[in-house]
Amino acid sequence: MVYLHRNQNMFGDGTFKSCPKHFEQLYTIITFADGMYVPVAFFLLPGSSKEVYQNMFKLLHSLHFEVTGSCLEGKILHLDFEQAAHAAAKLSLPGLALKGCLFHLKQSWWKRNSKRSV
């Protein structure tokens, strides 16, 4: 959380492939610190609904406040283009700026173009 506190940008990403039984996804919060990407929080989530993401973002905010004594306001959260995650972040972390992740945008374009060329 200290790395997250010291840096303005944070990135959120979930994976459905590398997840233990009884959970739907592993969601990671990452920041860029000291020249490298550093994971600062891992969440095992039971689903991918707006409510699940809201609970996760509220917990992230609480943990950050508990460790650093400050809020996440003024930071930039980069997410993929999943609507539920964006909606939850807007509701749970109102002081944050939300941006789409360029990596995920390029990835979706690549997948779409690959399907068309087949």
Tokens of 96: 């944050």
Residue 42: which pLDDT band, with cuts at 50, 70 and 90?
very high
The domains found in the chain, sorted by start residue, are 2-116 (3.30.420)
The pLDDT value given to residue 19: 85
Distance in angstroms (rounded) separating the CA atoms of residues 82 and 50: 10
For residues 56 and 72, the answer to whether their CB atoms sit within 8 Å is: no
For residues 43 and 59, the answer to whether their CB atoms sit within 8 Å is: yes
Q: In this predicted model, what pLDDT tens digit does every residue of 48-83 receive, in sequence order?
A: 999 999 999 999 999 999 998 888 888 899 998 889
Distance in angstroms (rounded) separating the CA atoms of residues 59 and 97: 18
Q: What percent of the chain has pLDDT over 70?
A: 93
pLDDT at 104 over 70: no
The pLDDT value given to residue 18: 84
Provide the pairing of β-strand 25-33 with 9-15: antiparallel
